[in-house]
Amino acid sequence: MTVMNVVHMRVKPGMEDEYIRLHKDLDVSTWQGGRNFWLVKSGDRSFIVVGEWDSMDAMVAARPMMIANLDKLRPVLEDLGGGRGLTEPWSGEVALHLSR
């Protein structure tokens, strides 16, 4: 079963290059059960991180590493407002995958 996690974040003004650099420095090859990771620019200073995992257990096991990465990102992130904090995370099993 494939699992995805999606996290929305907004970067402080002038910090986009640093935010991208911090993600480039990640060694996701060490994340057991991780398949693919994307960083998507979704708007002005707005990004979405997408992770693809072998299973829910693999993603849950990687949470300490993901939190450690978030700790490195915190200085460049802006509060999303509305009580959401610095991130808006979602995750779940893939219900449908269409490919070309």
Cβ-Cβ contacts under 8 Å for 6 (sequence gap 6 or more): 48, 49, 50, 51, 89, 90, 91
CA-to-CA separations, 70 to 27, 59, 93, in angstroms, rounded: 14, 15, 22
Q: At residue 96, does pLDDT exceed 90? A: yes
Q: Say if residues 36 and 52 touch (Cβ distance below 8 Å).
A: yes
pTM score, two decimals? 0.90
The CATH T-level fold of domain 3-93 is Alpha-Beta Plaits (3.30.70)
Reading the block at residue 61, the tokens are 């096991």
Q: What is the pLDDT averaged over residues 22-48?
A: 92
Q: At residue 28, does pLDDT exceed 90? A: no
pLDDT confidence of residue 94: 96
